[in-house]
Amino acid sequence: MLIFLSHQLAYLATPKTGTTATEHALRPHAEIVFARNRKHLTAQRFQLRVAPFLEQTFSVKCAAVAVMRDPVDQIRSWYRYRQSPKLDDTPMSSKGMSFEEFALAVISEAPPPAAQIGSQHVFLTAGKQNILVDHLFAYEEAARMQDFFRDKISKDLAFKEINVSQRVPASISEGVLAKLRAARADEFALYEHLTQAGGYLHTPR
């Protein structure tokens, strides 16, 4: 999470949505940086804890900005990340699992450590479609999000690909996709709402 007091903005880092590259471009302009285990603070925690602190301490109300990715692609990104050699021989490795096995593990009643990846819907909302960020961009509309920050912060921002996971086979059958859609119906519905809006939702609080 990055806080831009002078621009009244907060960038919330939804996992597996290009956050490393985005933060690399934006970090030099941020007055407050949440790193490591606080990097991925959810929108709900931001609204309940961080936003009130910013208002009380700095008299600044920051608009929250976040990105959402196609739910299947986000799970696929987690799968590829957890194929990394640095996770070999740890409970967090997804090696030895096909992508379909990983996806089914994600939505199982007791996911193994490697498949405990959280939910974009939980990260961004307070339940159902109650979005807790002011500006929500689709990952697939990255250029639009980048232009937003260039307009708000600096025209000289340069966004580069960083921390890209290795390419591994990760196809999915219609049957497994249907199970994913059923198990994560709220997340798919939110993403479809976002894409139907052209990849950008403005929901000022």
Q: From first to last of its 205 residues, what are the pLDDT tens digits of the chain?
A: 999 999 999 999 999 999 999 999 999 999 999 988 788 999 999 999 999 999 999 999 999 999 999 999 999 999 999 999 999 999 999 999 999 999 999 999 999 999 999 999 999 999 776 999 999 999 999 899 999 999 999 888 888 875 655 667 788 999 999 999 999 999 999 999 999 999 999 998 7
In this prediction the pTM is 0.93
Beta strand pairing status for 200-202 and 135-138?
antiparallel
CA pair distance 49, 45, nearest whole angstrom = 6
> What domains, with CATH codes, occur in the chain?
2-202 (3.40.50.300)
Q: Are 52 and 41 a contacting pair, CB within 8 Å?
A: no
CA pair distance 77, 31, nearest whole angstrom = 30
Going from the C-alpha of 153 to that of each of 5, 16, 140, 157, the distances in angstroms are 11, 23, 21, 8
Q: Are 137 and 67 a contacting pair, CB within 8 Å?
A: yes
